[in-house]
């Protein structure tokens, strides 16, 4: 008999501000219990990162897409959970990239030609930022990220942060549809037939809804599908 207690499981404790709609939208169906802490924070089970790694990514995403006067950011959207799931899934293992050799450097127009998978790029990038990154003052964090902003790791982190802000919450980010609320995106609404030729020049901003809410049944994210 399998004993789940034998599996070493890493958790990330998310602060109170990130909890918003997290339990409602993001973590439904998660086999491991989310435990609410006394201070209002939650402990989220991780699929790929260690807790220390997740803390670094959590802090770095917040610098890429900060929570500021213009509205919520990567922390509230739980972008780190999105990235954790992507890296744990087929994308993280480069299942959908051509990975046969020989590997040779080429011109920029040929894109990334390296051998390293997204998982390996993250592990290496996080190591270089260092465990202490999460507790550095904001200015020092910005300085560190500026120094690596041309790296493959940073470019991925930036791209994934945008994805985690605005992908459907079934993927673990955009918690509570906070990303869509921020930009006024209504979600995958089934029809605008009565609206497309109206509202010229004026904002039309229906209340956002997720694919599950709109379709009335649960979609399965690619990273959650059985291989």
Residues of the shown chain interacting with another protein in the complex, contacts defined by CB under 8 A: 63-66, 68, 70-71, 73, 91, 94-100, 102, 104, 106-113, 142, 145-146, 149, 158, 161-163, 165-168, 170-171, 179-180, 182-186, 188-193, 195-197, 199-204, 211, 214-215, 217, 219-222
Write down the least CB distance from residue 219 to another protein, Å. Answer: 4
- By beta-carbon proximity to another protein, the closer residue of 17 and 35 is 17
- H-run or E-run covering 43: strand 42-45
φ/ψ of 174, rounded to 5, equals 45, 45
Q: How far is the CB of 50 from another protein (least distance, A)?
A: 24
Shortest separation between residue 158's beta carbon and another protein, angstroms = 5
- 59/204 Cα distance (integer angstroms): 34
The tokens for 35 are 């435990």
The encoded tokens of residue 158 equal: 């930036």
Q: What distance, in Å, lies between the first and last C-alpha atoms of the chain?
A: 23
**Measured from the CB of residue 185, what is the shortest distance to another protein in angstroms?**
5
Residues 6+ apart with CB under 8 A from 160: 79, 82, 83, 86
Task: Specify the residue, 42 or 170, whose C-beta has the smaller distance to another protein.
Answer: 170
In whole angstroms, the minimum distance from the beta carbon of 160 to another protein comes to: 10
What is the DSSP code (8-state) at residue 26? I
CB of 42 or CB of 176, closer to another protein: 176
**Looking at beta carbons only, is 4 or 201 nearer to another protein?**
201
Q: Which residues pair with 68 in a beta bridge?
A: 71
Q: In whole angstroms, what separates CA 177 from the centre of its chain?
A: 13
Cβ-based nearer residue to another protein, 45 or 188: 188
């Amino acid at each position: 008999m399998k004993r789940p207690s034998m599996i070493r499981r890493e958790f990330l404790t998310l602060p109170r501000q990130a909890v918003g709609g997290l339990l409602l939208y993001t973590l439904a169906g998660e086999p491991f219990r989310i435990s609410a802490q006394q201070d209002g924070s939650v402990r989220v089970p991780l699929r790929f990162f260690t807790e220390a790694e997740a803390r670094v990514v959590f802090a770095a995403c917040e610098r890429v897409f900060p929570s500021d006067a213009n509205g919520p950011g990567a922390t509230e959207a739980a972008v780190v959970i999105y990235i954790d799931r992507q890296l744990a899934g087929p994308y993280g293992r480069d299942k959908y990239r051509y990975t046969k050799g020989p590997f040779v450097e080429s011109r920029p127009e040929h894109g990334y030609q390296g051998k390293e998978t997204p998982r390996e790029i993250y592990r290496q990038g996080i190591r270089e930022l260092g465990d202490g990154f999460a507790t550095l003052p904001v200015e020092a964090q910005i300085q560190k990220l500026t120094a690596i902003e041309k790296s493959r790791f940073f470019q991925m982190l930036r791209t994934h942060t945008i994805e985690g802000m605005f992908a459907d919450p079934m993927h673990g980010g955009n918690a509570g549809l906070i990303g869509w609320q921020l930009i006024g995106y209504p979600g995958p609404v089934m029809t605008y037939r009565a609206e497309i030729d109206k509202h010229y020049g004026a904002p039309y901003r229906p209340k956002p809804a997720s694919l599950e809410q709109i379709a009335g049944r649960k979609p399965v994210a690619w990273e959650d599908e059985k291989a």
